[in-house]
Structure 1
Amino acid sequence: MALSGVGIGAAATQWRAWTYVPQADLVVARDWYDADDVYLGACESRIAVNELPPGALDDARAYLASIDVEKATFDAEVVAAELNAVGRLDELPRLIPGADPETFDLHHEGGSPNPAFDSDARILHSALMLAIFGGMSESLAVKWPELSTGALTARVQTQCTSDPPDAPDP
């Protein structure tokens, strides 16, 4: 059974096939808005964790259930780095109120990894997923120290309503 923080848009959305994570252990979903409260889209990430000690998955679910996904915060530098990678760093204040692109020392070489998936909703959701997965890892490592060395791994598949309908999975 998957646990989720589901927003209104995400719950009503029909996703494409979940080919990389067909059976999710955890689900994180959220509706995204910019700094002016303009709707950007909904995203859902499905997570299949790799081997865990007995009981750790239940604790991971409890950790996720304790988070208000719609209000969860993430590092603005992650969003800045993602925007910089796609040549849109100047748009940071539109996505994060008060964020100043000049405060980040970012460098990027090469093109965007997958330009079809550079939507604002996906960029924000990626930053959220890094924060949630990091917090979950830290939380689990308290009870299972063997997970503190980066041993917590998972497969993650994300879909957003802003994704092109005919584009292959990123």
Structure 2
Amino acid sequence: MSAALRTTVVAVHRDAEHRFSKQLEDCIELEEGLGVVGDAHHGLTARHRSRAKADPFQPNLRQVHLISDSLFAHLAGLGFDVAAGELGENVTLASAPGLEWDALVALPVGTRLHFAQGPVVELTGLRNPCAQLDRFHKGLLAAMLDKDAAGRVRRKAGVMGVVRAGGPIGGGDAVRVRLPRAPHRAMECV
């Protein structure tokens, strides 16, 4: 990596219930191997309802959901008023060079985000936009999907990760991004 990728945390969110949006918190606590303490997706095995229904024993690769705040500006340009936490993310990151919404979803599997107070989140894949988006804002599902120049589907709903080191995360915390060793593998939906 030629230049260090760095950003800050804009906001953190959690919700003990399976709801679409998450509540703003001053601080969240990450627990190694399990996720955000007090969040509905906290656990060693799948907590996402459709994934748990298909196989309740599969590993939980969706412990932490992260979005770049530049996604909200992008969506505003498409006519959607969406704020931090409303898309169900746990961590909203500040847009920074190389970490805008489209660059965040292009990071490789295994990228690690090191948060100032000690937590480490390893990216596992993309969040797949679902029909709940249209119940939140009509037409939002289509806006969260796009195609690249080669005609491949691009998903804009953020990235998912697992907790490799626990600790607190709060608004304003610095974040350092470390790419895995090459060869890199593109993220897919998890």
Q: Which has the higher strand share?
A: 2
Q: Which has the higher helix share?
A: 1
TM-score bracket, normalised by the shorter chain, equals under 0.3
TM-score w.r.t. length of structure 2: 0.26
Query: Which structure has the bigger radius of gyration?
Result: 1
